[in-house]
Structure 1
């Protein structure tokens, strides 16, 4: 006897509707249902866990080709693809909307995405080629030879199919349902509100006669409305503002306790987490295990997962061994987690064995151990460990709450940056282009997310909402919109539900630090002290330098100095006229060799820009070595010692050279819009180089000295330093004895200082 199949959007909704009187009731999840509808002869469905290594192997192949062609933009975009989840989200979206990537440029009038689409088209074509080689299909991403047909024998097994829709049925699935409806009756359960009424949730012949704030049952084939029921939103919503995210936990526990005292059953209460990372706070304070976490326990906390992380670090830092085969790498990985016997680690071991077994089909011998481990950790991070110790109060994300019945709900993190949440993939292709391609726009996706939350307020008879209110956090606009439909009351959550007891407020007292300057200094340490004594204290007295991050200009500045030292080193102590074209070729060759050692697409682009700047500088700048014979006396790699006003300085001038009967001291700079007077006001390096040279045993120390900044971005600038000599001597005298490490009087240095929070600025 045939029975009706019921299809649900979430696992919780399915479990709640299982009948205890039926042994094997025909219920199914939406994703499983649509995968069962499709048959593709000669091809197997690609397991989702095989996507990442397969895609990364293609991106690596693409990167090698681009590196040879020196296509800098494409490499930068490729770097983004390697470090984001954009790629397959975009390909899936195209497949579901039945849009071919080749047709997008026809709608891209201004060519805004021309370069991006060219690269994406190549990657998609190569991905489909690999699917063809392996005889797989990936959802609706199909090899060219794959042909889809409806699995009629599966459909005919049921008397009718009922589908409970809580979101949107995409065009590809709508087409499939149309075919199913011609074989067996299909009923769709759905509801409309102000957020999803204009979305393409179902074919027009079904929704054209429907209006918002009603739940409907319709015949999918004919479009006939079989049932309609008015929707009722929760009559009152209480919203609580907190200063800190973790403080919202106090509201969750307080509301649950209040409802339980009123006789509400635990099964009728849910906690909704728009950002599921909030679960760690609830788990930490749930000492009596009252919560049941739908998202499971964090697999990253298991000893086996952490062991794999350490193995990854070891594979990067050491040479571990010569290139291993894939089989050998699998053995090393599995042996590293074999000793861990706890339940969480056993789950990790099972997942690792499953993943490594599946990946054998992909021929990954060309990858290194660090690549395999990175793929493993990323795949494992998407999984969770079932919460078997939990109680009856469910904690779930908004998607898992779809179709689930409850009476009381608490929603945390109801903030503007969380509700709605736009992903990286949603930002690709502007709204005009998406509309013309009949793809969901950003607004459509935001409306759909709001629709899910509206469902929570329509299901429960009481909802408490928590959000963080601070300088950089604001409540979600959704709350203001709900306030127009029902009674919404705002409260100060910190006053009503304090997570920690409030103590007496202590008067703020500013710290002061005193000490003595060391007898041995460097120009950079002196500059740091003169700009901000407090920063000097944190860096060199408290030794916080390891927390300081250097990147961007600092990285390029170091590259520039090392490059020029290498280029000029063969000519040291040789009087000669330089061939500028040869200098340019040597510098570019050095930078090309250096670029081969970096994997960052951004760094590669910056190095290419530096090559252009160097070529322009050596061609246009007015350099002494273009007109006269030059003898390089010293380069950056050699230290000089200086005794001055009771202090010892170790200095390393970038370059000192003799030109005729004069000496030039050169300092390299790579900075946009360099202003010597303002930017170098506290930089006495040039003066110290001059003093050090005159104290040296050089045969030319009595010759007149000229000092120049080689500003690679702006040209050669001469440094007039006589006035600064006197200022330097005065400042060194003032540094003798006790000094106060006070904050900088001018706040300009604080703008990019890593210690700005420590100084309360």
Structure 2
């Protein structure tokens, strides 16, 4: 790896500090493959300071409590200064990231508020600084009062000498600019311990040279290259002179997605030139490109080092929609709730803990292992944090989602080509790099920190300026070009986007590969016969169908490719506004029907039933902030007159036993999940299983069709519901059908009639045949084939992806 002495397996008491955890993992992996011996002690910079610094108070503040205490400091300062801040806590949360970043920057660079005031000659920021200083002072006071410290803001009280005593020497490999506080601490350690810094000096490191001068190291006038610095003796040794700029290969495209085709093209070229896939990395200046790569990585050749943001998960998006709906009645969230089939969770929201118990079981495949434990840990921390701030459950939900959004889902696909962010390349050395998105605004990226205080003031008081941040990013890309054998760069060039100005610092060589070539590669990747780059068939992940609902079973039987895209790749269908409204009204009907039917006495009149439905619909719409659905409600109720009359008569003979009854049971090794709309019992003790249908035509499969074309039967909803009730009642199946079963049926709501499944036992037998077959399958990607019947594709949301 870069800027470091050579490491070997020796039983010494030296400590090596590397720029990042990824650099540590990479080095340990390389060393473990070398000859036998003791691995050196390697640690990341963050972990080192976490072990080293001691504070007067006992516990470190967590991210949720930090937000709460910052909010408290914010408004206590307001009361004292009488500034009239916005009192709404949720709005404060939207701006508190600025405070977090700004206070952290001041602490890291050892800059005090009076230093900024001195640099602010014309008092441009006088009032802002007075407010921020008051908030900072009050926040630190609150930390102390609660026996907490904040590593980002608090002043450490001492250095952990017992920890330092474990090592005879310390070697620090620096990539970029350490903070002034970090350098000051290294200088203190050097008074009693042998400590060596390894740094790289080039045209982009003037800020580093300036920082080193603060601790008595002067590199002014020295040539570019890699240096070894003994902080104890202040001696500087040139290890290697800087090399001339290598050629980097460059090309551009008119649209961003075409870069994905180029990435896979270059990976194939590198492998053809005998570069192992493990020695290739894809660098993302903007990590939002990762999902684009993932969407075309059909054979899982890529390993995403940053993981996948939990924000892209179905679980998180459900939480987000529930939060937005509960906290602010956001219109888009209302529509998403129906789309994600979680409106009931939002309507019944009471607490974060209860909500997690409701929705986590539905996301077992997506949220598992370490992340599941992290979610539970966050929930516990939330309960503790809320003791500092007695607010309602809405605030708790907002805080929880806010804390959760920075988590990632580990990439478990096992690809051999690593995809990483720019910062993750620090301390990493591979043979080939592909850098995408080399455009202005992305390279260099603009920091939010630069939006407060102008460049002149920042320079005077010692805070990083925008040009220094640009130099730092240039340094990182320069190190990639210098340390990797091959480096290729691509960018987007059109009316909206231009190449990064940083390209002027590199010797470039054009790659003849444009839009047409990239499109050709993408089409190959997205076609049925995709080429593999790294993996062989035996490397591919094996999929077992372990859990099914009636809907997912139907998808699997109709089209395995649709099942794969929908349930494994989790590509959400596009839903237009009319579909959303229809779905939402259906969901509301189920809520209202369950409540009204349960509350009606056995002699409810048609008028009483209709009045109850209207009342409950009105309450739900009001509680859910859905006034725009009043017209749809009116139209729906106008279609229910026959239903009210039929239902009032039906309730004389039948009593509801279950409504909206969830179930989970195992059948032939496959877990079946779902929810029954309603189960009634008549006066003789026989059960009717009912599923509401709000559509113009309701049909069931005929006995003739089941007997003549069993392969065409894909709808097993009522058969699954029947088995579910047998499991719930814990009755022998034969006895159930002989003594306790009346019918299982669709309830045609608009036409007010029952449509029974006359052949349910035949359906159950056929269902078991399918489950027995499905449960034994070991599926790879290639097994999720397109359906034979193109008629299934006519209204399928995925037909364009499949080329149908």
> TM-score when scaled to structure 1?
0.60
Are the aligned partners of 2:90 and 2:395 in contact in 1 as well (CA < 8 Å)? Answer: no
Task: Decide which of 53, 64, 68 is 1:38's aligned counterpart.
Answer: 53
1:497 equivalent to 2:518? Answer: yes
Larger radius of gyration: 1
Are the aligned partners of 2:177 and 2:207 in contact in 1 as well (CA < 8 Å)? Answer: no
Structure 1 unmatched runs, 5+: 321-326, 503-541, 547-761
SS at structure 2 position matched to 1:163 = strand
Are the aligned partners of 1:348 and 1:380 in contact in 2 as well (CA < 8 Å)? Answer: no
How big is the shift at 1:493?
2.4
Task: Decide which of 196, 200, 203 is 2:205's aligned counterpart.
Answer: 196
SS at structure 1 position matched to 2:168 = strand
Q: Distance in 1 between matches of 2:244 and 2:61?
A: 42
1:358 equivalent to 2:370? Answer: no
Please name the residue that 1:387 is paired with: 411
How big is the shift at 1:409?
0.7
Task: Decide which of 223, 233, 250 is 1:222's aligned counterpart.
Answer: 233
- For residues 543 and 36 of structure 1, do their structure 2 counterparts lie closer, same or farther at Cα, with a shift above 3 Å needed? closer
**Deviation string, structure 1 residues 704-739 (Cα, Å, up to 9, x no partner):** xxxxxxxxxxxxxxxxxxxxxxxxxxxxxxxxxxxx
SS at structure 2 position matched to 1:126 = helix
**Deviation string, structure 1 residues 589-611 (Cα, Å, up to 9, x no partner):** xxxxxxxxxxxxxxxxxxxxxxx
Please name the residue that 2:534 is paired with: none
1:177 equivalent to 2:186? Answer: yes
- For residues 174 and 78 of structure 1, do their structure 2 counterparts lie closer, same or farther at Cα, with a shift above 3 Å needed? farther
Task: Decide which of 308, 311, 314 is 1:300's aligned counterpart.
Answer: 311
Q: Distance in 2 between matches of 1:279 and 1:84?
A: 28
- For residues 402 and 318 of structure 1, do their structure 2 counterparts lie closer, same or farther at Cα, with a shift above 3 Å needed? closer
Please name the residue that 1:154 is paired with: 163
Q: Distance in 1 between matches of 2:365 and 2:79?
A: 42
Please name the residue that 1:251 is paired with: 262
Please name the residue that 2:491 is paired with: 467
1:435 equivalent to 2:472? Answer: no
- For residues 123 and 491 of structure 1, do their structure 2 counterparts lie closer, same or farther at Cα, with a shift above 3 Å needed? farther
1:231 equivalent to 2:242? Answer: yes
Please name the residue that 2:287 is paired with: 276
Total equivalences in the alignment:
493
Are the aligned partners of 2:258 and 2:519 in contact in 1 as well (CA < 8 Å)? Answer: yes
- For residues 340 and 280 of structure 1, do their structure 2 counterparts lie closer, same or farther at Cα, with a shift above 3 Å needed? same
**Deviation string, structure 1 residues 194-228 (Cα, Å, up to 9, x no partner):** 01134335346334266353111221222212441
1:449 equivalent to 2:458? Answer: no
Please name the residue that 1:87 is paired with: 99
SS at structure 2 position matched to 1:345 = coil
1:9 equivalent to 2:30? Answer: no
Q: Distance in 1 between matches of 2:304 and 2:89?
A: 37
How big is the shift at 1:39?
1.4
- For residues 310 and 62 of structure 1, do their structure 2 counterparts lie closer, same or farther at Cα, with a shift above 3 Å needed? farther
SS at structure 2 position matched to 1:221 = coil
1:425 equivalent to 2:437? Answer: no
Q: Distance in 2 between matches of 1:176 and 1:434?
A: 23
Q: Distance in 2 between matches of 1:224 and 1:420?
A: 34
Are the aligned partners of 2:246 and 2:481 in contact in 1 as well (CA < 8 Å)? Answer: no
**Deviation string, structure 1 residues 26-56 (Cα, Å, up to 9, x no partner):** 1100011122221123433323454334334
Q: Distance in 1 between matches of 2:451 and 2:408?
A: 28
Please name the residue that 1:104 is paired with: 116
How big is the shift at 1:266?
0.9
Q: Distance in 2 between matches of 1:270 and 1:353?
A: 34
1:333 equivalent to 2:355? Answer: yes
How big is the shift at 1:65?
8.0
Please name the residue that 1:265 is paired with: 276
SS at structure 2 position matched to 1:85 = helix
Deviates more, 1:366-375 or 1:15-24: 15-24
- For residues 210 and 386 of structure 1, do their structure 2 counterparts lie closer, same or farther at Cα, with a shift above 3 Å needed? farther
1:115 equivalent to 2:124? Answer: no
- For residues 447 and 147 of structure 1, do their structure 2 counterparts lie closer, same or farther at Cα, with a shift above 3 Å needed? closer
Are the aligned partners of 1:270 and 1:408 in contact in 2 as well (CA < 8 Å)? Answer: yes
Q: Distance in 1 between matches of 2:407 and 2:430?
A: 27
Are the aligned partners of 2:18 and 2:174 in contact in 1 as well (CA < 8 Å)? Answer: yes
How big is the shift at 1:60?
5.7
Are the aligned partners of 2:327 and 2:398 in contact in 1 as well (CA < 8 Å)? Answer: no
- For residues 494 and 338 of structure 1, do their structure 2 counterparts lie closer, same or farther at Cα, with a shift above 3 Å needed? closer
Please name the residue that 2:796 is paired with: none
How big is the shift at 1:151?
1.2
Task: Decide which of 305, 315, 330 is 2:326's aligned counterpart.
Answer: 315
Aligned pairs for 1:589-738 (under 5 A) are none
- For residues 189 and 477 of structure 1, do their structure 2 counterparts lie closer, same or farther at Cα, with a shift above 3 Å needed? same
Please name the residue that 1:552 is paired with: none
**Deviation string, structure 1 residues 390-435 (Cα, Å, up to 9, x no partner):** 3111100110001101111110000011111112222211111111
How big is the shift at 1:64?
7.9
More helix by share: 2
Structure 2 unmatched runs, 5+: 1-10, 331-341, 343-348, 524-575, 581-804
Are the aligned partners of 1:4 and 1:158 in contact in 2 as well (CA < 8 Å)? Answer: yes
> TM-score when scaled to structure 2?
0.57
SS at structure 2 position matched to 1:228 = strand
**Deviation string, structure 1 residues 418-457 (Cα, Å, up to 9, x no partner):** 1111122222111111111122111111111111111111
Please name the residue that 1:606 is paired with: none
Q: CA RMSD, aligned part only?
A: 3.3
Please name the residue that 1:670 is paired with: none
How big is the shift at 1:79?
5.7
**Deviation string, structure 1 residues 555-614 (Cα, Å, up to 9, x no partner):** xxxxxxxxxxxxxxxxxxxxxxxxxxxxxxxxxxxxxxxxxxxxxxxxxxxxxxxxxxxx
How big is the shift at 1:328?
6.9
- For residues 500 and 393 of structure 1, do their structure 2 counterparts lie closer, same or farther at Cα, with a shift above 3 Å needed? closer
- For residues 403 and 212 of structure 1, do their structure 2 counterparts lie closer, same or farther at Cα, with a shift above 3 Å needed? farther
SS at structure 2 position matched to 1:498 = helix
- For residues 487 and 299 of structure 1, do their structure 2 counterparts lie closer, same or farther at Cα, with a shift above 3 Å needed? closer
Q: Distance in 2 between matches of 1:240 and 1:56?
A: 48
**Deviation string, structure 1 residues 493-516 (Cα, Å, up to 9, x no partner):** 2144335789xxxxxxxxxxxxxx
Q: Distance in 1 between matches of 2:510 and 2:222?
A: 28
- For residues 77 and 54 of structure 1, do their structure 2 counterparts lie closer, same or farther at Cα, with a shift above 3 Å needed? closer
How big is the shift at 1:61?
5.6
Aligned pairs for 1:513-524 (under 5 A) are none
Q: Distance in 1 between matches of 2:279 and 2:264?
A: 15
- For residues 140 and 331 of structure 1, do their structure 2 counterparts lie closer, same or farther at Cα, with a shift above 3 Å needed? closer
Are the aligned partners of 1:308 and 1:336 in contact in 2 as well (CA < 8 Å)? Answer: no
Are the aligned partners of 2:436 and 2:490 in contact in 1 as well (CA < 8 Å)? Answer: yes
- For residues 376 and 64 of structure 1, do their structure 2 counterparts lie closer, same or farther at Cα, with a shift above 3 Å needed? farther
SS at structure 1 position matched to 2:322 = helix
SS at structure 2 position matched to 1:218 = strand
- For residues 364 and 356 of structure 1, do their structure 2 counterparts lie closer, same or farther at Cα, with a shift above 3 Å needed? farther
SS at structure 1 position matched to 2:366 = helix
SS at structure 2 position matched to 1:497 = helix
Q: Distance in 2 between matches of 1:77 and 1:110?
A: 33
- For residues 266 and 49 of structure 1, do their structure 2 counterparts lie closer, same or farther at Cα, with a shift above 3 Å needed? farther
How big is the shift at 1:156?
1.7
Please name the residue that 1:716 is paired with: none
Please name the residue that 2:364 is paired with: 342
Q: Distance in 1 between matches of 2:259 and 2:119?
A: 47
Q: Distance in 2 between matches of 1:436 and 1:481?
A: 28
Task: Decide which of 144, 160, 169 is 1:132's aligned counterpart.
Answer: 144
Q: Distance in 1 between matches of 2:394 and 2:244?
A: 52
Q: Distance in 1 between matches of 2:433 and 2:87?
A: 47
- For residues 358 and 203 of structure 1, do their structure 2 counterparts lie closer, same or farther at Cα, with a shift above 3 Å needed? farther
Please name the residue that 2:346 is paired with: none
How big is the shift at 1:358?
2.2
Q: Distance in 2 between matches of 1:455 and 1:201?
A: 20
Aligned pairs for 1:514-593 (under 5 A) are none
